[in-house]
Chain A
Amino acid sequence: MNIPIEYYLILSGFMFLVGVAGVLTRRNAIIVFMSIELMLNSANLSLVTFSSYMGNSTGQLFVFFVMTVAAAEAAVGLAIILAMFRNKLTLNIDDINILKW
């Protein structure tokens, strides 16, 4: 039984929108960061889908690059979040507001 490509694309689009909504509405820096990872993973899902339906392996290769880079980004990002928490003892991005015009 073959699942049509649209199903995967709709799922991936939905995941992407959940990620965007999470970034825009959540106030905790870690949860915002998790939502960003969700966006990257939704892109990975569509890359794999296209790759498998076209019989072209470039997309799957790209997913490996995205995962590796996302891991590097997570390392730097969590370090930044940790440095912030040490100084301020909060991760609520509404409280992180000394820079304002």
Chain B
Amino acid sequence: MLNNFQEFYNIIPILLIGAGFLISLLIEMYFKKSDVILPWFTILIFLAAGFHALYAVNSVSVIFQNMLATGGIVNIFYIIFTFGAAIVALLSIDYIKKYGTYFGEYYILLQTSILGMMLMAGAKDLFMIFLGLELMSVSFYSLAGLNRKRLKANEASLKYFLLGAFATGFIVYGIALIYGTVHSTSIDMIASRFYELSSDKLFIAGILLFLIGFSFKIAAFPFHMWVPDVYEGSPTTIAGLFSTGGKAAAFSAIIVTLGVLFTGRIGNILMPYLAVISVLSMFYGSIVAISQDNIKRMLAYSSISHAGYLLIGLAAGNSFGVAGVIFYLASYTFMNLGAFGIVALIEGKDESNLTLKSFSGLASRYPLLAALFSIIMFSLAGIPPFAGFFGKYYVFIAAIKSNLTWLAILGVLSSVISVYFYLRIVVLMYFKDAETDLKIDVSKTGLAAVIISVLLVIIIGIAPGTIIDLIAFFFK
């Protein structure tokens, strides 16, 4: 048993962000220069929480009457969320001025959504999963439609809200059925009784409804309709957060709730469901992305196909696969934030410069941006020296270890298709003449955020072994 002091020490990342957003409310209210202070304060809070999570990664414990877990995998998720959010906040400083009016709520909602993600990743009880999910989703609905005068933003947030709340309905009904059969909402109880209940139809229906609800949140194929519209209509930086933090949080909830399936102690009875939606998302995302002209919609379809690759790791159902999924999420977070960051830098007033045409001939005028964007595109396509390659590699190897070679082969085929639309942008930037008269003032903070994410992509690509060993060590 831990004493109270130790319990509070272990959840300092959560406390920091919880206190941070309350202080941000006060800053927003009382300081005239809050538009200068608030972004840097937000970044400071995220970095402090992230570095504490990194420092305390070994203090594995379960605290608060079996409600929250800390340390290990949970802290690795905290690091992904907080560093990702810090990059988003750094990108936003100049972007939201360009996008429309400045709203202090932007940074406050950013902090509450990250708090929700952290509660989901650390959950040891379905209560925490539900509360974290709703805290994240409600913040996301308002962030998507933050500029309420803009019709596209309204439409994006309305679509996100209706489909997100629909998914919540499935998750709550699933939780009700799981509670009715397990007689408890504790995740440890669910894990210990999973095997004996796996022939109970009501229990399996509950688990399936729960998974269907989360399939909406991770943007997997039959439940993806909202993704392109929401990404196109919401602010670009926020679309980056939806596709990285939101997806990572939903995967963390699936991993903590159904973790017992993925440790190899009992068979992975959900393999058929996961494998089918994984194959459908991969191919649908890669094929439809080819026909897109708007870069944000293209990234949205690429996000659907990445959800498919990530699901391969869960379908494999061994601890190596889950470690691969977490590694993939870490690398995907930084490369996708880099991609959305460049799009946010190039985007002009009133959502101009978002078509693929704006990227042609970029290398001759903005060589640094073109070089950074090419690295990110190579990484997203899964070309070796970068992080994206190792993410796919670990996930496919896990599938082969579980005798799902066909799934790994389909995954490789789909990533071959996706190379086409990623590399098309590189070709446009380097080998075509400019088609539009593109003039942008590159914001310094935004450029710094993109450079940081590219550096992280390269670092993860150089030392994938140490990171995957660390994750696999904690996932036992």
Contacts and interface: CB of A to CB of B under 8 A. Distances in A.
A72 B288 CA distance: 36
B151 A98 contact: yes
B297 interface: yes
Contact of B134 (A72, A99, A101): A72
Interface residues of A, number: 44
A50 B180 contact: yes
Given A29-B162, A88-B151, A59 B145 contact: no
Contacts of B165: 33, 36, 73, 77
A73 B152 contact: no
Nearest to A96: B155
Contacts of A76: 138, 141-142, 161
Nearest to A91: B158
A44 B130 CA distance: 14
A36 B166 contact: yes
Contacts of B157: 80, 83
Nearest to A50: B180
Nearest to B174: A43
B175 interface: yes
A46 B185 contact: no
A83 B148 contact: yes
Interface string B351-367: 00000000000000000
B168 interface: yes
A69 B164 CA distance: 13
B177 interface: yes
B303 to A, nearest CB: 14
User: Which of A73, A81, A88, A100: most chain B Cβ within 10 A?
Assistant: A73
Contacts of A62: 126-127, 130, 175-176, 179, 185
B169 A54 contact: no
A36 B167 CA distance: 9
Given A40-B169, A80-B161, A58 B179 contact: yes
A96 to B, nearest CB: 5
Given A39-B173, A77-B165, A81-B158, A50 B179 contact: yes
A36 B163 CA distance: 9
Contacts of A50: 176, 179-180
A39 B173 CA distance: 8
B169 A96 contact: no
Given A87-B151, A87-B154, A96-B158, A80 B141 contact: yes
B162 A36 contact: yes
B161 A65 contact: no
B131 interface: yes
B168 A73 contact: yes
Contacts of B148: 83, 86
Interface range on chain B (Cβ under 8 Å from partner): 35 or more
Contact of A66 (B142, B149, B172, B228): B172
Interface in B12-50: none
B179 A59 contact: yes
Interface in B278-294: 288, 291-292
Contacts of A101: 228, 288, 291-292, 297
B347 interface: no
A29 B158 contact: yes
Contacts of A40: 168-169, 172
Contacts of B170: 39
B154 A84 contact: yes
B183 interface: yes
Contacts of B184: 56, 58
B154 A77 contact: no
Interface in A40-77: 40, 42-44, 46-47, 49-50, 54, 56, 58-59, 62, 65-66, 69, 72-73, 76-77
Nearest to B147: A83
Contacts of A88: 151, 154
Interface of B: 126-127, 130-131, 134, 137-138, 141-142, 145, 148-149, 151-152, 154-159, 161-162, 165-166, 168-170, 172-173, 175-177, 179-180, 183-185, 228-229, 232-233, 288, 291-292, 297
17 contacts: A33-B162, A33-B165, A39-B166, A39-B173, A43-B169, A43-B172, A47-B175, A50-B179, A62-B127, A73-B138, A73-B168, A83-B154, A84-B155, A93-B162, A96-B158, A96-B159, A99-B152
Interface of A: 12, 16, 19-20, 23, 29, 32-33, 36, 39-40, 42-44, 46-47, 49-50, 54, 56, 58-59, 62, 65-66, 69, 72-73, 76-77, 79-81, 83-84, 86-88, 93, 96, 98-101
Which 5 pairs between the two chains have the least Cβ-Cβ distance?
A: A39-B169, A50-B180, A99-B229, A43-B172, A83-B148
Given A42-B173, A58-B184, 7 more contacts: A29-B158, A46-B173, A47-B180, A76-B141, A77-B161, A93-B158, A98-B152
